[in-house]
A and B are shown apart, each in its own frame.
Chain A
Amino acid sequence: MLAAMILAQTAAAPDFAREVRPLLAERCFPCHGPDEATREAELRLDTIEGAHAAFVPGDLDASEAWARIRSEFEFEQMPPPDSHVAPLDEEEQALLRSWIEAGAPWRTHWSFTPPRKAALPDRASHPIDALVARVLEAEGVAAAEPAARPTLARRLSFDLRGLPPTPEEVAAAEDDAALERWIEDMLASTAHAERLAHWWLDAARYADTDGFQQDATRQNWPWRDWVVRAFRENMPLDRFTELQFAGDLIAPDDADAVLATCFHRNHMHNGEGGRDPEESRVDYVRDRVNTVGAVWLGLTLDCAQCHDHKYDPLSQTEYYALSAFFDSIDESGQAGGSAGPFLDYLPDLPAAPLETARTELEASRSWRIRVEEAARGPYLEQRENAADGPRGFLRPRLLGAHSIEGHELEVAEDGVVERRAPRSAQDEYVVRFDPGDLTRVTGIEVTLLPDEGGAFSDAADGHFVLTGVKLARSGQEAPPAGWAGAVADAAGRGEDREIGPAAGALDDDPRKGWTLRESGWEGPARIRLALEEPMGVSAGEALEVTLLFRSNVVGSYAKRARIALTAEKGDAPRTLGPTPREALAEHLEEAGDAPLPDELDARLFRQFLDDDPAWTDADRRVRGLEQHVRDQEQGRGARRVTVLRERTEPRTTAVLERGVWNARGAPVGRAVPASIGAPALATDAPTRLDLARWLTAPDHPLTARVLVNQVWQMLLGRGLVDTPADLGTQCAPPVHEELLDWLAADLVENGWDLRRLVRLIVTSDTYRRTSRSTEAERARDPEGRLLARAPRFRLPSWMIRDAALSASGLLDPTTGGPPVFPHQPPGVWEEMFMGRMRYRPTVGSARHRRSLYAFWRRNVTPTFFFDSADRRTCSVARRMTNTPLQALTLLNDRTFAEAAQALGEGAAGTPGSDSERIQGLARRVLSRELADAELAAVESALERLRSIYERDPAAARAATAPSPLEPVPARSELDHVEVASLTAVAAMLLNTDEAITRE
């Protein structure tokens, strides 16, 4: 078998570019390639001269390299056995042998010569199809049938707009002429521009925050809107490039031109405390170079950061010469508000979204007033008795107390915990108690008492330092409760400047604490801590409070302490005076039936509302919308966008030795790589504009190929070249090399017209083929590289989300403006930043805007975007994985649940039989009707779901509950069981493989 293969290979001369060069690149170039520093024996095999010295054309015996490869002696073997490079196996040797015997034909790397159009046969109706047909014929593979029209309509709609077609659009697309008109409409639509913007934002590593430690929020979204506008007006890609590289040089007074340069400032900004800003600045400059490499040149320039490139003809000097174009930006390397240069850009936004937000806010406020009014009666009814319940701060029955460091603690009769003789430097006390009749705790009070001599502790100055307080269920697995705030009778100043205010006792940071030192306070002192959320208590359950005295002040643990609890809401745990109920009791005792003072009445009513779930729900909606309206209003003022601006005094760029930021070597001037087949620069003093023009020069070998490849990948799931960020020498010519070249040349010839390119692709038969395949076809071409059939691949997660919103009719099509915050599970930001940042989901219809407008925090990618580019560095490669976590996301994320519910309500509200309703859902979600077997499966699922919900009406009610993110919780009048069952069916359809797949 092996012998036969070798024979077969000997017969035909191997393809140098496809087979030989990649082999040499992998096994030889590391020591005999472009990198001068690692080059051995002054032998270079990446040039024709060097290669033909080592591999003599047609003469195996004279080929020294061949002899070394074949040698049995370790000392002369190639690759050397200790080099970690694998030796050539028999097949590879046979390949090399036949290449040498055939005269060692040499060809410049395929992507380093300008693309040319291959001649097309006269009868060619479509250039793409003609060129693909050539390959298919050579391979002896037949092209697949065209896709069914509804499939094609769905494919076009996803590829061009990132949205599914409406049932009407699917029906209309049956007509050929209507289909072509529809394509034109889509190409001109904003939705198409938004779809393209997703591609570009990934490439541009766009995000709404800086990244790194501080991860400060930025205001660069006007640039995102600029990208959408540019695509919408089909700005030529050369112009698009020039503006993003040098808008400030082209038209310094044109805000939109300057805005475009934000592309090169979208990288992360590092504000870490000990960071040298210059190190960060160097990182930013290199990030720009690497981004240019991946997005325009398709070269892994970053490999030349520390040393010459191992495979491609790129020296480290050339790398830094390229970096010189970006090295003189007037920037300091700092982050956040110091990350200039900034452009104060005034966005031009339509009025409607803000109007909608304000209307929704008004609606939610009216709703809150209604709830408040409805609560007034019950409030008044119980007001007189309010003083009877548990009021104020109550001392619980203590069950015991112990110290962590081994102090003896004694529980005295009045609930005071007393410490015996001091033993260690620090301590913490754990006090267990029975909360008695209380069914919840909303806050606690700790009183620290001095001894007869006035000393609170055994510290030299007699003062305590309380560094933390924890409240938890005793012996239970529950996190300690979170505190909302603390107030104390007095606060002093510690010798350690971090110690003083009551807030120091809120967390377990031992550097911060509460003390009375220097406050002048004498006698018992109280601190009250309010819980973020009330802690419910079951009968008989014990709680424990831990008092932490962990400061570096020796002996500053309390001598005597006492605990009290309150169950009152409202302002009770946040003030030191009488709680509302205490005040009421006092009033009743002193004034009897006299009317309540207004202030007390207001406190009591607020306390009552705080306990009314309907009111707190309404209040949360109002506050959510207030935040949203505020964001929208602020977004209409000038935004500070990071942009490019040259320094007056340019920096001297140097090669950085080993890539170390401050190891400055020889100075370099601005220059472009010389050995990749690209034209030279026309000027001696080039600017960023010249760099952009060089990239888009008509005979540049790489840019057009690279961009065409990205567009092809965007539309067909896989690029003509598999590695969109690397068309360098490691990359074998693609199967459809002529096609890539033809499209690249055509793009340049036609003024870099992106829309023309997209149109060309989607009007080809190649694009329109079916994605179905037989086992034999898949065995012949598992990945569909030959393009005999269309690809079938899962949609990107952002598109799945937009599709669900669109199919359910929930999508808010508003374009542009400040980002919104779609729902994500609570606590995700808080966990990442340990509470420093809090995610507040948008309330109102704007939460259903397209994914493009979702706020993107770099350190915490929105949870619903699985598999997305990480937006930390540029990304042009697609990611496509399949994990159980994705299934959980699509099944359980609230946005998808809301989409399913909207579909369920729609179906339940439409008259008709089960099968008619199911087909209606299928038309919206899958753009087609179900076949008989499928319909039967769904009908039986619906029956099953209905019987579950009939047995469990509470579940049906829960499944049909209004979203907490609506301005007003309006409940549907429809039958809950029907809506719940159809909602579950809709969720089922949304989660079929087909629903999330481009077919």
Chain B
Amino acid sequence: MSDAPRIDPNLLGRRAFLRGVGAAGLAPLGLASLLAREDGGAAGLPHFPGKVRRVVMLTQSGGPSQLELFDPKPGMVERAGEVIPESVRRGQRLTGMTKGKPQLVLPSRARFRRRGESGIELSDWIPHIGGVADRIALVRSMVTDQINHAPAMTQFLTGNQLPGRPSLGAWTSYGLGRISDDLPSFVVLITRMQRGSDQPLYDHYWGAGALPSEHQGVRLRAARSPVLYLDNPGGVGREVRRAQLDGIGALNDERRELTGDPEIEARTAQYELAYRMQASVPELTDMSDESDETYELYGPDSRRAGSYAYHCVLARRMLERGVRFVQLIHPDWDHHSRLTSWCRMRCRDTDQPSAALIRDLERRGLLEDTLVVWGGEFGRSPAGQGDWQSLEAGRDHHPCSFSLFLAGAGVKRGVVHGRTDDYGFHAAEDPVHVRDLHATILHLLGIDHERFAIRQSGLDVRLTGVEPARVVEELLA
């Protein structure tokens, strides 16, 4: 719950600042010395120089199966169909879907092989990610507290299972401010699927909580109008709108004079930013200047608006143009059944474009200060759901261990961190809790998670919450 009115006091100052240097031409890239001071962040931030300026989070919603993608357990083949011993499970809670049913080992449906010079073992279902194995830091020992989608995703993205806390993207935007003057600093892209989704994607996943609402993620829609209300009403062209804004500006100036309220200037400035966004957003989403080679790199799906692959190309365009935090969401990883068809299909949607994004960022020099995160809210159980021998078998939700990878600025390349037990049930070595991941990401951004707080409902709210969280130094380059 917010307590005070929230108006961005920096807005005018920041804009004036940027205008002042604008003559030099604010190219989307470069000008590092200028942009390093880029203004607008919370007071005293960053706490120290961070290696990461931009983040792209490839969110795989539903719980991708680490056992089919990242965490090989060859020993499970011999134990196929056996009951997972209580000594391994240690009382782990089940969802209502598998509660009361025997927990029988389902070996991985996919084959694994060593990839790259680092030799990281990855599944054949993600050959392209395999191709960038030497560029990623794979964590096989992620853990979370939640077993159902909404609370787990809320925790994964906001640090707390209850809705209403600021999301990671909002924290980042709030902490470090805006890079581009014409685009929102936090953008969300949701893959458009042909089939109806099982879980809605709540807007609190990218909400600002008690932070000023300008930091909330702006969801670009897969529609002709990518931002709600971006299009003028019929018969109102750019020229008409300009005339209206000039009139509004003139009347607002008069009112400012009369009432003395400085907030009026901020209002006019937001109307002007809206006007600029009406030009900058279509330029951003008009991909006609992308080469065929780009589409080949990202795969055939990348030509289809709204696909995950298309969003990966779009994400790169946004990072280039100064969006601080891009959050992609692929919504269909909840594979309770039919792993060989369903999970594999989702690998096909995401494998090539995810890898292409890393390669593309790298060759454009963007990976030097961009962090890529690939992962979902939890993993999937080593036990089969349904008849484990049938092709219809799937896996239930699993919070005790899952995999996720990072790539880019400040992160080691070609390493594996953490290990799960022989059943892939619990994180056996170096567990990394979601809040540790958050602490690590903030650290890479130059932010000390313990000192990064906002007052909400009388409490100091931090992304990493009240339990101790740790920066995973082992992952840092």
Q: Interface size of B by Cβ–Cβ distance < 8 Å?
A: 106
Point out the residues of chain A lying under 8 angstroms from B8, CB to CB.
Answer: 882
**B-contacting 9-mer, from A180-188, A626-634, A885-893:** A885-893
Do A792 and B200 contact each other (CB < 8 Å), given the known contacts A889-B228, A988-B248? no
CA–CA, A410 and B457, complex, Å: 67
Point out the residues of chain B lying under 8 angstroms from A826, CB to CB.
Answer: 223
Closest-by-CB residue of B relative to A789 is: B260
Point out the residues of chain A lying under 8 angstroms from B148, CB to CB.
Answer: 272, 274-275
Point out the residues of chain A lying under 8 angstroms from B248, CB to CB.
Answer: 988, 991-992
Q: Is the CB of A772 within 8 A of B260?
A: yes
CA–CA, A938 and B247, complex, Å: 6
CA–CA, A934 and B164, complex, Å: 43
Per-residue 0/1 for B1-31: is the Cβ within 8 Å of any A Cβ (1 yes, 0 no)?
1111111100000000000000000000000
For the complex, is A475 an interface residue (Cβ under 8 Å from B)? yes
Q: Is the CB of A773 within 8 A of B261?
A: yes
- Candidates B2, B7, B259, B278; contact of A772 at CB < 8 Å: B259
CA–CA, A298 and B147, complex, Å: 33
Point out the residues of chain B lying under 8 angstroms from A877, CB to CB.
Answer: 1-3
Q: Is the CB of B274 within 8 A of A888?
A: yes
- Candidates B195, B212, B274, B344; contact of A426 at CB < 8 Å: B344
Point out the residues of chain B lying under 8 angstroms from A276, CB to CB.
Answer: 96, 99
Do A552 and B213 contact each other (CB < 8 Å), given the known contacts A730-B458, A956-B235? no
- Candidates A468, A717, A731; contact of B194 at CB < 8 Å: A468
Q: Is the CB of A834 within 8 A of B195?
A: yes
Point out the residues of chain A lying under 8 angstroms from B258, CB to CB.
Answer: 772
Do A882 and B150 contact each other (CB < 8 Å), given the known contacts A476-B303, A511-B342, A775-B260? no
Point out the residues of chain A lying under 8 angstroms from B307, CB to CB.
Answer: 479
Closest-by-CB residue of B relative to A992 is: B251
Q: Is the CB of B247 within 8 A of A771?
A: no
For the complex, is A461 an interface residue (Cβ under 8 Å from B)? no
Do A479 and B243 contact each other (CB < 8 Å), given the known contacts A215-B200, A859-B200? no
Q: Is the CB of A880 within 8 A of B196?
A: no
CA–CA, A722 and B307, complex, Å: 46
Per-residue 0/1 for B122-146: is the Cβ within 8 Å of any A Cβ (1 yes, 0 no)?
0000000000000000000000000
For the complex, is A507 an interface residue (Cβ under 8 Å from B)? yes
Q: Tell me which residues from 211 to 227 in chain B have a Cβ below 8 Å from any Cβ of chain A.
A: 212-214, 218, 221-223, 225, 227
- Candidates B214, B267, B300, B450; contact of A84 at CB < 8 Å: B450
Point out the residues of chain B lying under 8 angstroms from A650, CB to CB.
Answer: none
Q: Is the CB of B244 within 8 A of A941?
A: yes
Closest-by-CB residue of B relative to A898 is: B233
Per-residue 0/1 for B439-452: is the Cβ within 8 Å of any A Cβ (1 yes, 0 no)?
00000000000100
For the complex, is A831 an interface residue (Cβ under 8 Å from B)? yes
Do A426 and B341 contact each other (CB < 8 Å), given the known contacts A887-B271, A985-B247? yes
Point out the residues of chain B lying under 8 angstroms from A957, CB to CB.
Answer: 235
Q: Tell me which residues from 188 to 206 in chain B have a Cβ below 8 Å from any Cβ of chain A.
A: 190, 192-204
For the complex, is B32 an interface residue (Cβ under 8 Å from A)? no
Q: Is the CB of A479 within 8 A of B304?
A: yes
CA–CA, A302 and B1, complex, Å: 12
Minimum CB–CB distance for A924 against chain B, Å: 15
Per-residue 0/1 for A288-310: is the Cβ within 8 Å of any B Cβ (1 yes, 0 no)?
00000010000010110000000
**B-contacting 9-mer, from A319-327, A378-386, A690-698, A958-966:** A958-966
Per-residue 0/1 for B154-165: is the Cβ within 8 Å of any A Cβ (1 yes, 0 no)?
000000000110
CA–CA, A826 and B223, complex, Å: 9
Q: Tell me which residues from 47 to 99 in chain B have a Cβ below 8 Å from any Cβ of chain A.
A: 95-97, 99
For the complex, is A103 an interface residue (Cβ under 8 Å from B)? no
- Candidates B96, B196, B274, B348; contact of A833 at CB < 8 Å: B196
For the complex, is B293 an interface residue (Cβ under 8 Å from A)? no
CA–CA, A959 and B261, complex, Å: 34
**A-contacting 9-mer, from B318-326, B367-375, B390-398, B422-430:** B390-398
Minimum CB–CB distance for B172 against chain A, Å: 17
For the complex, is B43 an interface residue (Cβ under 8 Å from A)? no
For the complex, is B415 an interface residue (Cβ under 8 Å from A)? no
Q: Tell me which residues from 275 to 316 in chain B have a Cβ below 8 Å from any Cβ of chain A.
A: 277-278, 287-288, 300, 303-307, 310
- Candidates B261, B288, B344, B391; contact of A792 at CB < 8 Å: B261
Q: Is the CB of A937 within 8 A of B1?
A: no
Q: Is the CB of A881 within 8 A of B252?
A: no
For the complex, is A425 an interface residue (Cβ under 8 Å from B)? yes
Q: Is the CB of B240 within 8 A of A984?
A: yes
Point out the residues of chain A lying under 8 angstroms from B204, CB to CB.
Answer: 870, 872
**B-contacting 9-mer, from A128-136, A603-611, A944-952:** A944-952
Q: Tell me which residues from 494 to 535 in chain A have a Cβ below 8 Å from any Cβ of chain B.
A: 496, 498, 506-511
Q: Tell me which residues from 241 to 262 in chain B have a Cβ below 8 Å from any Cβ of chain A.
A: 241, 243-244, 246-248, 250-252, 254-255, 258-262
Do A725 and B1 contact each other (CB < 8 Å), given the known contacts A468-B194, A832-B200, A834-B193? yes
CA–CA, A80 and B458, complex, Å: 22
Point out the residues of chain A lying under 8 angstroms from B197, CB to CB.
Answer: 833-834, 836
Closest-by-CB residue of A relative to B458 is: A730
CA–CA, A728 and B3, complex, Å: 14
CA–CA, A831 and B6, complex, Å: 29
CA–CA, A511 and B338, complex, Å: 7
For the complex, is B44 an interface residue (Cβ under 8 Å from A)? no
Point out the residues of chain B lying under 8 angstroms from A480, CB to CB.
Answer: 194, 304
- Candidates B95, B233, B255, B278; contact of A897 at CB < 8 Å: B233
- Candidates B7, B222, B223, B232; contact of A882 at CB < 8 Å: B7
CA–CA, A870 and B305, complex, Å: 30
CA–CA, A773 and B262, complex, Å: 10
Q: Is the CB of B237 within 8 A of A952?
A: yes
- Candidates A311, A479, A836, A994; contact of B222 at CB < 8 Å: A479
CA–CA, A883 and B170, complex, Å: 14
Do A477 and B254 contact each other (CB < 8 Å), given the known contacts A552-B340, A728-B458? no
For the complex, is A933 an interface residue (Cβ under 8 Å from B)? yes
Point out the residues of chain B lying under 8 angstroms from A833, CB to CB.
Answer: 196-197, 200
For the complex, is A827 an interface residue (Cβ under 8 Å from B)? yes
- Candidates B192, B244, B340; contact of A479 at CB < 8 Å: B192
CA–CA, A863 and B230, complex, Å: 13
Q: Is the CB of B342 within 8 A of A508?
A: no
- Candidates B7, B243, B261, B391; contact of A945 at CB < 8 Å: B243
CA–CA, A45 and B102, complex, Å: 53
Q: Is the CB of A993 within 8 A of B96?
A: no
CA–CA, A337 and B124, complex, Å: 45
Point out the residues of chain A lying under 8 angstroms from B95, CB to CB.
Answer: 273-275
Point out the residues of chain A lying under 8 angstroms from B268, CB to CB.
Answer: 993
For the complex, is B45 an interface residue (Cβ under 8 Å from A)? no
CA–CA, A723 and B254, complex, Å: 34
Point out the residues of chain A lying under 8 angstroms from B251, CB to CB.
Answer: 934, 937-938, 988-989, 992-994
Closest-by-CB residue of B relative to A310 is: B459
CA–CA, A881 and B11, complex, Å: 12
Point out the residues of chain B lying under 8 angstroms from A350, CB to CB.
Answer: none
Q: Is the CB of A993 within 8 A of B252?
A: yes
Do A831 and B221 contact each other (CB < 8 Å), given the known contacts A508-B345, A945-B240? yes
For the complex, is B239 an interface residue (Cβ under 8 Å from A)? yes
Minimum CB–CB distance for A163 against chain B, Å: 21
Ordered by A's residue number, 9 sampled pairs between the chains whose C-beta atoms are within 8 Å are A496-B391, A730-B458, A825-B228, A826-B223, A831-B223, A880-B5, A948-B243, A957-B235, A993-B251
The 5 closest A-B pairs by CB, nearest first: A959-B235, A274-B95, A958-B235, A834-B197, A941-B247
Q: In the complex, given contacts A957-B235, A984-B240, A988-B244, what are 14 additional A-B residue pairs having Cβ atoms less than 8 angstroms apart?
A: A477-B310, A509-B194, A731-B458, A774-B260, A825-B225, A827-B221, A832-B201, A873-B164, A879-B213, A883-B214, A893-B229, A984-B236, A989-B251, A993-B264
Chain B residues proximal to chain A, CB less than 8 Å: 1-8, 95-97, 99, 147-150, 163-164, 190, 192-204, 212-214, 218, 221-223, 225, 227-237, 239-241, 243-244, 246-248, 250-252, 254-255, 258-264, 266-268, 270-271, 273-274, 277-278, 287-288, 300, 303-307, 310, 331, 337-338, 340-342, 344-345, 348, 391-392, 396-397, 450, 457-459
